[in-house]
Structure 1
Amino acid sequence: MAVLKWVSLIFASLSFFAPPPAATSSSQQITAKFLDLARRPELFDWMVGIRRIIHENPELGYEEFQTGKLIRDELDKMGIPYKYPVAETGVVGFIGSGSRPFVALRADMDALAIQVHGSVEWEHKSKVPGKMHACGHDAHVAMLLGAAKLLQQHRHELQGTVLLVFQPAEEGGAGAKKVLDSGVLENVGAIFGLHVGTRYPIGSVASGHGPLLAGAGFFDAVISGKGGHAAIPQHTVDPILAASNVVVSLQHLVSREADPLDSQVVTVAKFQGGGAFNVIPGSVTIGGTFRAFSKESFIQLKQRINEVITIQASVQRCNATVTFGSDERPSYPATINDIRLHGHFQNVAEQMLGSKNIKEMKPVMGAEDFAFYQEAIPGYFFYVGMVDDKKGPFEPSHSPFYRVNEDVLPYGAALHASLAARCLLEHQPEPPLSKGTSHDEL
């Protein structure tokens, strides 16, 4: 059944696009032109400066006021109209004819609540205690602004309109969902997003079609018993014992209930209760995450997590209440790349970088809120490599040692611009769902 549903989704995505004509020489010239322009010192140095300003002044989700102002100031200088605010602190710019078809490019803006490690000596490190851009979103903004410069300079060659989506709150705040709910992307026929990659060499890209990143949910549970002195446990109902059994039982959901070929994860990452060595507490709180690539597996995991926690707690004479996610921390769907856009991406990337620099990425269990766009619009997400052995090791995302190789900026800007321009020229995407509204007034 899952296979049939995936096949139907593939064919549904094909209907969003008119049959593409053969790639023209002008299309290929766009690809080469944008990379050459992005490498020029005037554009490269400008993107570096933007990136460093944002890195020095990180802002958490839905707090990106100064980042948004910087973006708006730069769009004003370029003469690019925009809508603000979108999703509280987001900005959406518009380049091109102001009419259909519409293609969107997305960059996330938010930082993380991580303290940069004291040993980091970079001149432009975060100036805000307890916050840093430890996931490359500062580079994403700089690259999309770089793409905006390229596209604006060639706006008369665009066969439609490109939307520049500067999105807040990717890190757990589901900013993408709020952007969708705003209606600003209603007539968009395709959307592209990228992420700098610490596993791939500079000058390369990595992605794939179909499921790329997992759907992610979160749970919290309070297991309540009866506290008392540790020396007389017979007079207590020990919630620590009950919670310990819950943690072990939850691991069986993957090891003994999931299809080994259907990747799933259940992780308990929080266990809180008590505070004294000789007192059994009255309650324990546990929490964690669960992940899967298919919606069916995701729903099944959620149901079984609730059952295991409540029933296993009752075996130990305790009560349990389970909550899943919240408005501040919603579940994310799986990131599933559109198969038609995969072909488009490969053509653009191969002509820009060469076939040897196109890496096929295996699905990973991380999550990305770009998936919300893909539930409503044919979308494609990819990684731009930035590893250079001459510059030492690059720590993974969410590390207090995280850093960006700024040589990646021209690649991201040129890929953004080329993917959008050539999609408009070659594929003429139409919106999957039209509600009768238009951006013709732009």
Structure 2
Amino acid sequence: MSSFFKFKFNNFLDIAKSPEVFDWMISIRRKIHENPELGYQEFETSELIRSELDKMDIRYKHPVAITGVIGFIGTGLPPFVALRADMDALPIQEMVEWEHKSKVAGKMHACGHDAHVTMLLAAAKILKKHEKDIQGTVVLVFQPAEEGSGGAKKIVESGVLQNVIAIFGLHVAPELPVGEVASNSGPILAGSGRFEAKISGKGGHAASPHKAIDPILTASNVIISLQYLVSREADPLDSQVVTVAKFQGGSAFNVIPDYVTIGGTYRAFSKQSFNHLRQRIEQIIVGQAAVHRCNATIDFLEEEEPSYPPTVNDSNLHEHFVNVAVNMLGINQVNSVMKPAMAAEDFSFYQEVMPGYFFMLGVQSASHKPSESSLHSPFLKINEDGFPYGAALHASLASSYLLKHQQNMHHAADSKYLDEI
């Protein structure tokens, strides 16, 4: 990146920190925070986004995937680079007492998606002011239903991103100090799936177990057998998880029930390992049930909520991210070897069809309390001072990538011409 453009893109942070933009961001975020909406119900959030894009004279497509909004800044022509923010809240009662606490009982932005939307809108504001310098088109992806319902999958299936050459996304990290970012090349978040199994036996009186076929004992053996998938079948260097977190059966102390229901999650960092776990989970449940004279049916619940693939960062985009982030924040503020986590993200659906990059942004609260630093916690606090960094990084990552892509295309064309001579 030339020194001129280093200066220009780093200037994005100064713009994002200006009172005009920063105060506007705080206002937007608090409006969204007070009115949280669950997946595919983000109608007011979508309306707010469209209203702000209208004020900025940014064109967009709506609806996409029910409530989604896809904006466009730049020439309207290729190349296309996308920036993504998710919009949905969680069914959690907020326990933080502050002026802008959720006004909707039982719903809260406990995963920071209100901040994600805000920072992408701010990036749009910055990019619109520099639209004449954009060497292509930045696509703004305001996506519904990340929390389990796979809104990204619906966005991909809509076809609106079919010509996009790269996509960037961020997630607030309340455990990281403001001004710091973290990510890595390759797998950073796991693929995640769910399963539920019904194990049917024959009910009877607990005093005469020989006259019954006990599904509780069978399910217990199934759960023990599932633990061997990780301890004895998985490569110790290939992290995987199988957890049974649901066990329901029986309602009396002296009656063996007819059936038991168990359910849980399985996770892995590679698609191959993920698919292997799914296959073996079904084999073990059905096989162990048969050994104990029971029948078993298993449902991977894909119709309700799709399983999420692993989130795998493109190596070339990692190099680009580190270059941009170090230039903007300083080398000590960029952790480029972040340890992967077993959490899942539907950003992975984008990465299955195009190069994608996902990173963490520090928004640690001033008090640093552990209860305030956990996503999906009713006590989550987000430090709004982190917002300018996310907005500026969004804007710089997209605009500088388009510039670099165009320069590479010119170099390739020049090389081809010389080769032909």
Residue 346 of structure 2 is aligned to residue 369 of structure 1: yes
Aligned with residue 90 of structure 1, among 68, 76, 81: 68
- 1:398 corresponds in structure 2 to 376
Q: Which amino acid aligns with 1:342?
A: H
Moved more, 47-56 or 135-144: 47-56
Residue 321 of structure 2 is aligned to residue 342 of structure 1: no
How much has 1:313 moved relative to structure 2?
1.2
Residue 243 of structure 2 is aligned to residue 285 of structure 1: no
What are the superposed Cα offsets for residues 94-145 of structure 1, whole Å, 9 maximum, x if unpaired? 001100111000000001111223xx21111111111111100000000000
- 1:308 corresponds in structure 2 to 284
Residue 358 of structure 2 is aligned to residue 381 of structure 1: yes
- 2:92 corresponds in structure 1 to 114
Aligned with residue 2 of structure 2, among 24, 33, 57: 24
What are the superposed Cα offsets for residues 51-76 of structure 1, whole Å, 9 maximum, x if unpaired? 11111111111111111000001100
| TM, length-normalised to structure 2 | 0.94
Aligned with residue 55 of structure 2, among 61, 77, 96: 77
- 2:44 corresponds in structure 1 to 66
Kept in 2, the 8 Å contact 1:190–1:379? The answer is: yes
Kept in 1, the 8 Å contact 2:194–2:300? The answer is: yes
Aligned with residue 248 of structure 1, among 215, 220, 224: 224
Q: Which amino acid aligns with 2:90?
A: L
Secondary structure of the structure 2 residue equivalent to 1:369: coil
How much has 1:256 moved relative to structure 2?
0.8
Q: Matches of 1:200 and 1:230 in 2, distance apart? A: 54
Q: Matches of 1:242 and 1:138 in 2, distance apart? A: 45
Which protein has greater RCO, CA pairs closer than 8 Å, 6+ apart?
1
Moved more, 309-318 or 59-68: 309-318
Q: Matches of 1:229 and 1:265 in 2, distance apart? A: 36
Q: Matches of 1:388 and 1:203 in 2, distance apart? A: 12
Aligned with residue 213 of structure 1, among 186, 189, 200: 189
Residue 114 of structure 2 is aligned to residue 141 of structure 1: no
Kept in 2, the 8 Å contact 1:101–1:188? The answer is: yes
| TM, length-normalised to structure 1 | 0.90
How much has 1:392 moved relative to structure 2?
4.2
* RMSD of aligned residue pairs (Cα, Å): 1.3
Residue 277 of structure 2 is aligned to residue 268 of structure 1: no
Q: Matches of 1:320 and 1:30 in 2, distance apart? A: 62
- 2:146 corresponds in structure 1 to 170
Kept in 1, the 8 Å contact 2:198–2:297? The answer is: yes
Kept in 2, the 8 Å contact 1:27–1:425? The answer is: no
Q: Matches of 2:339 and 2:369 in 1, distance apart? A: 25
- 2:209 corresponds in structure 1 to 233
Q: Matches of 2:375 and 2:227 in 1, distance apart? A: 26
C-alpha distance 164-361 of structure 1, shift in aligned 2 (>3 A): same
Q: Matches of 2:92 and 2:108 in 1, distance apart? A: 6
- 1:103 corresponds in structure 2 to 81
Residue 303 of structure 2 is aligned to residue 327 of structure 1: yes
Q: Matches of 1:27 and 1:327 in 2, distance apart? A: 47
Q: Matches of 2:182 and 2:375 in 1, distance apart? A: 16
What are the superposed Cα offsets for residues 1-54 of structure 1, whole Å, 9 maximum, x if unpaired? xxxxxxxxxxxxxxxxxxxxxx11232023221000000111111111111111
- 1:9 corresponds in structure 2 to none
How much has 1:388 moved relative to structure 2?
4.5
Q: Which amino acid aligns with 1:384?
A: L
Q: Matches of 1:392 and 1:33 in 2, distance apart? A: 33
Which 5+ residue runs of structure 1 have no aligned equivalent? 1-22, 431-442
How much has 1:389 moved relative to structure 2?
4.6
Residue 17 of structure 2 is aligned to residue 39 of structure 1: yes
- 1:223 corresponds in structure 2 to 199
Q: Matches of 2:63 and 2:290 in 1, distance apart? A: 49
Secondary structure of the structure 1 residue equivalent to 2:277: helix
Q: Matches of 1:88 and 1:58 in 2, distance apart? A: 17
Kept in 2, the 8 Å contact 1:214–1:292? The answer is: yes
Kept in 1, the 8 Å contact 2:326–2:334? The answer is: yes
Q: Matches of 1:159 and 1:327 in 2, distance apart? A: 41
Q: Which amino acid aligns with 1:74?
A: E
Kept in 2, the 8 Å contact 1:170–1:176? The answer is: yes
How much has 1:287 moved relative to structure 2?
0.8
Identity %: 66
Q: Matches of 1:390 and 1:323 in 2, distance apart? A: 44
How much has 1:202 moved relative to structure 2?
1.0
Secondary structure of the structure 2 residue equivalent to 1:427: helix
How much has 1:148 moved relative to structure 2?
0.6
Kept in 1, the 8 Å contact 2:152–2:349? The answer is: yes
Q: How many residues align?
A: 406
How much has 1:341 moved relative to structure 2?
0.5
Which 5+ residue runs of structure 2 have no aligned equivalent? 410-421
Kept in 1, the 8 Å contact 2:230–2:242? The answer is: yes
Q: Matches of 2:224 and 2:92 in 1, distance apart? A: 30
Q: Matches of 1:390 and 1:134 in 2, distance apart? A: 18
Kept in 1, the 8 Å contact 2:174–2:381? The answer is: no
How much has 1:308 moved relative to structure 2?
0.8
